[in-house]
Structure 1
């Protein structure tokens, strides 16, 4: 793997992150619970990671602001427009994933 200038690497990573956000925005039908079941992260996780990264840089960013940056609009609006209630099957799959993580000592 080639060594990149740190500023170039940061710009590449930032571009990839922006592309991930666009991809998620283009696929609002993919529900957060599905992301949690399949990938163990969701849009809210991204917001928490963004908030933590901001704090590491000495930037004050609360959870609502971070979620608005991830969702592209206030979370309550996004939720009203795009979030569907979790199905019993989704809830069962999520609980099974959480139980498996706990059994592995990951939770």
Structure 2
């Protein structure tokens, strides 16, 4: 796989904000529906999870705090999510997550 060229504009930046926002909302709603896809599994496969999305909206200027951002993404308070949706992570899941996160570029903005 080749790295994207840094001297060229990223076509993603040309995507209209309304289109990007609609796609983001669809992704979040999909993740809410697929609560069987655990955050630890998302981290192990893709290096990000629902909590990352909450952090990213904070980084993008969301006015709420971390708890409000997570509630927005999860569709419920974090305590409720953990009690009803989150299972205990296995050692294998944690290992896979650490390896996956190590592959993340330092800054994908």
TM range (shorter): 0.7 to 0.9
Unaligned stretches of 5+ residues in structure 2: 1-10
Say which of 95, 98, 101 aligns to 2:98: 95
Decide whether aligned partners of structure 1 residues 12 and 89 sit closer, same or farther in structure 2, where only a CA change above 3 A counts: same
User: Which structure exhibits the higher relative contact order, with contacts defined as CA atoms closer than 8 Å and separated by 6 or more residues?
Assistant: 2
Instruction: Give ranges in structure 1 of 5+ residues lacking alignment.
Output: none
Higher helix share: 1
Q: 1:67 aligns with which of 65, 70, 74?
A: 70
The aligned length equals 94
Deviation beyond 4 Å, 4+ runs, structure 1:
none
Query: TM-score, normalized by length of structure 1?
Result: 0.76
2:44 is aligned to: 37
CA distance in 2, matches of 1:15, 1:105: 25
Structure 2 residue corresponding to 1:51, chosen from 41, 58, 68: 58
Q: TM-score, normalised by structure 2?
A: 0.75
1:16 pairs, out of 13, 19, 23, with: 23
| Larger of the two Rg values belongs to structure | 1
